[in-house]
Amino acid sequence: MRWIKCIDHIMWAVQKRNKKSLDRVAIVQKATAIRTSNYWDPLLELMNKEDFEIETACNAFTAASQNIIKDESLTINGNGAARKPGRNLSRSTKALLHKKACLFKAAQSNPGNVDALNEYKGIKQRVSLAIKEDREASWLTYVKQGVTHLTEMSPRKLWKWIKNTSGVGSKSSKNTHPLKDAKGDMKTSDSDIADIWIEHYRKLAQESRENFRSAEYWETSQQLTKLSELEVNGPLSWSEIRGVIAGMRKNKSAGEDGLPAEWYKVCLTEDDDEVPKSKLAIVIYKLIGKMFENGHIPPAWNSAPVVAVPKKGDLGDKDNYRGIALINCFIKILTRVISNRIMSQLESSNRLCVAQAGFRSREECVAQTVALWDVCERRRAVGKPTYALFVDFQKAYDTVPHGALFANSASLRAKVGDHLSKEVKIEKGVRQGDPLSTTLFDIFINDFEVSMGEGITVPGMAECDKISCLKFADDIVILAESTLELQKQQKKAAEWASSWGMNVNAGKCGVMAIHGDNDELRTVDWRMQGNPVPVVNTYQYLGIPVNTEWKLKDVIEQRAEKGKKAYWGLAHFLRSESIPLEIRIATCRASVIPVLMYASELWGTAAKVEIEELDRVHAMGVKSLAGLRLSSNLTSLECLRTELGLRSVTEKARLAVARAEVKYPTLKTWIAKLALARRTKNSWFSR
């Protein structure tokens, strides 16, 4: 017998969840009953008074919603765990198992009883056959469920079925992970873990610098330039609110009140484009309008439980989680309307810097990588290296000073399982999960580009169009002509971060000479806020490896490696003949191909011979779907792809590039100016 030490494993009790949730399918089915219910009448009568109290109306809205939910039986028990396929035994089989156990005991207690032993051997074979038949029947029933989800066009249910079947899925915060407290003791109960989280959030949310809380401090110390006010204070229109409700995504987590987006979507009718028609729509319109007019949200609705969602790294480290606020959907509608108004005014008046692509309409993450690659290639073609400083802010969203944003009065609570901690007032940072937070962060970080001063010249572009940095939200790369210029830019960036209360994560920053020599950079002591910044040969920028040579071949090799990992994680599932082919194709499309195709707008301009490496990985999935060995040499691989309805990587990449060539010139960031600039040798737009 072999003994294995498992001292790094800890067992803990999984606490039972008693929470009930709303049946979203039933909500849609009973939409008419919900939006026309008589429970809305007292609330409408209250709102006909011009001076009605918002808190009273909010409480009445919650009470009416709960009464409708109860009367229409819209709740379902959320405790049911997904049953593993092929594990359900029939009653007759269970009876045989019981009889087998009894015969085994009889044969064991009387070894000389030959009849009992023979009877035991006979029933043992019957049990094995019965279990096999039950598992086959159970598996067939389970597969039929997947087929039903596919034919009924239920992608959420189908994806859940696929994850349960294949055993592959993303990390989830539903199964509480044990954490260490301040003393280093491991805690496993929901209440203890919630206490650890709320203490962590308390430290993040509290502003220790008293002057940073004051708007007057920012107006005087930073000498902010006074701009004309944005025209965002007019009364809200129903068309604005309706557009936001219609655009809300389904099957997303509800807030503390338990009302999901589907609850609000039922208020919409076909003929209510200009004015609300249903009772529920009128209630929503008047209540949101009153909140906007008075500038007041009830504290009970402005407090949101925060769920810790795992990122990469050790799950015992609280810094490896992202805190997502579960804000009530009603408040999300209000903040989304405000965000849309502000962003519309900022865009129309060109107040957002041209370097920022994050959280802006129609802008793309990949477009920023294309812009950086195009700039570096244009400069390389004329013998110029590009000196880059990749900046990483520590907890960027959680450390934004409220005094600089004029934001106040929000609070949070940690949520672990069904347990909610005490409230903590938010004194700094923007809530992740709030539609308005992204707009506020863009405004906050907007002047970073201005503080950098002049940047680098780009061949083919006007002399006045110098690029100092590229930003995608808080992912920033600073560009300079030389080592000396990069030192100046680094100093300015550190000064900006310190003056605006941001902490630079120097260890995760990186200095690099793209198409240049890093040895020159290593002669300089690179520091930000007193901490050393490493000179790196490779840096992951928006999911793309950037190195000193930076060839598209390197990007393609990374995609191929990640694609292989995705394939091998699902290989057994893709090969399984007991699963319908259509489901396996859908899985390949959803889990393998997107990994291969990420940033295809960038590397899709590479030579066909380089892209063929990705096609070979794609072929692995195609062969598995067809039940062929990976070593099989097919002369008709394209025919097989066509039969399965799958395009080759090369074809999809060319389509992605063609789409980008049409879209990029219409954007509002540097990629548009690069697209319209004079095309030079080796630029992305001339390949």
Instruction: Give pLDDT, residue 388.
Output: 95
Instruction: Give pLDDT, residue 602.
Output: 94
Residue 484: is its pLDDT beyond 90?
yes
Interval 239-258 mean pLDDT = 89
Give 187's strand partners: 179
Residues 457 and 566 reside in one and the same domain: no
Residue 39: is its pLDDT beyond 90?
yes
Residue 450 CA: distances (Å) to CA of 9, 446, 500, 551: 51, 8, 14, 31
In the block, residue with structure tokens 């600073």: 478
Residues 116 and 60 reside in one and the same domain: no
**Least confident range of 8-12, 328-332, 444-448, 609-613:** 8-12
Residue 489: is its pLDDT beyond 70?
yes
Interval 459-479 mean pLDDT = 90
Residues 542 and 594 reside in one and the same domain: no
Q: What does DSSP assign to residue 90?
A: P
Residue 632: is its pLDDT beyond 50?
yes
Residues 358 and 495 reside in one and the same domain: yes
The tens digit of pLDDT for each residue in 172-224 reads: 445 467 777 777 777 777 777 777 777 777 776 666 666 666 666 666 665 55
Instruction: Give pLDDT, residue 257.
Output: 86
Residues 504 and 370 reside in one and the same domain: yes
Name the band, by pLDDT with cuts 50, 70 and 90, for residue 79. very low
Residue 87 CA: distances (Å) to CA of 99, 130, 164, 620: 20, 12, 13, 31
Residue 599 in 3-state DSSP? coil
Residues 70 and 139 reside in one and the same domain: no
One-letter amino acid for residue 601 of the chain:
E
Domain boundary residue among 128, 145, 166? 166
Q: Can you list the alpha helix ranges (DSSP code H) found in 627-669?
A: 637-644, 649-663
The tens digit of pLDDT for each residue in 573-628 reads: 899 888 889 889 988 998 899 999 999 999 998 888 889 999 999 999 999 998 88
**Is residue 390 domain-resident?**
yes
**Least confident range of 192-196, 374-378, 422-426, 603-607:** 422-426
Question: Where is pLDDT greater, at 657 or 220?
Answer: 657
b (16+ CB within 10 A) / e for 538-565: ebebbebebbbebebbbbbbbbbebbbe
Residue 472 in 3-state DSSP? strand
**Residue 114 and residue 107: Cα distance in Å, rounded?**
8
Residue 682 in 3-state DSSP? coil
Residues 498 and 577 reside in one and the same domain: no
Measured over the CA atoms of residue 36, residue 40, residue 46 and residue 52, the dihedral's sign is negative
**Least confident range of 155-164, 384-393, 666-675:** 155-164
Residues 566 and 483 reside in one and the same domain: no
Name the band, by pLDDT with cuts 50, 70 and 90, for residue 83. low
Domain boundary residue among 311, 327, 346? 346
Instruction: Give pLDDT, residue 401.
Output: 67
Calculate Rg over the CA atoms of the chain: 30
Residues 282 and 298 reside in one and the same domain: yes
φ/ψ of 590, rounded to 5, equals: -90, -25
Q: What does DSSP assign to residue 339?
A: H
Residue 96: is its pLDDT beyond 80?
yes
Cβ–Cβ < 8 Å for 393, 505:
yes
Tell how far CA 345 is from the center of its chain: 27
The tens digit of pLDDT for each residue in 55-71 reads: 999 999 999 999 999 99
**Residue 250 and residue 263: Cα distance in Å, rounded?**
10
**Is residue 178 domain-resident?**
no
**Residue 157 and residue 671: Cα distance in Å, rounded?**
39
Q: How many CA within 13 A on the CB side of residue 143?
A: 17
Domain CATH for 393 = 3.30.70
Question: Which uninterrupted H or E stretch holds 95?
Answer: helix 91-109
**Least confident range of 15-24, 92-101, 438-447, 513-522:** 15-24
And the tokens for 25?
């399918």
Instruction: Give pLDDT, residue 9.
Output: 38
Residue 680: is its pLDDT beyond 80?
no
Centre a 10 Å sphere on the Cβ of residue 464 and count the other Cβ atoms it contains: 7
φ/ψ of 648, rounded to 5, equals: -70, 160
Q: How many domains does the chain have?
A: 4
Residues 337 and 387 reside in one and the same domain: no
Measured over the CA atoms of residue 62, residue 67, residue 72 and residue 77, the dihedral's sign is positive
71: left (phi over 0), alpha (psi -120 to 50) or beta: alpha
Question: Which uninterrupted H or E stretch holds 77?
Answer: strand 75-77
Residue 399: is its pLDDT beyond 60?
yes
Residues 31 and 154 reside in one and the same domain: no
Domain boundary residue among 524, 550, 576? 550
Name the band, by pLDDT with cuts 50, 70 and 90, for residue 35. very high
Pick the closest to residue 55 from 232, 296, 219 (CA basis): 296
For residue 132, give its domain range. 91-166
**Is residue 334 domain-resident?**
yes
- For the chain, the average pLDDT equals 82
One-letter amino acid for residue 473 of the chain:
A
b (16+ CB within 10 A) / e for 611-620: bebbbebbbb
Instruction: Give pLDDT, residue 363.
Output: 92
Residue 320: is its pLDDT beyond 50?
yes
And the tokens for 81?
């765990």
Give 539's strand partners: 546
**Is residue 670 domain-resident?**
no
Interval 465-479 mean pLDDT = 92
Residue 622 CA: distances (Å) to CA of 158, 560, 604: 21, 15, 21
Residues 360 and 444 reside in one and the same domain: yes
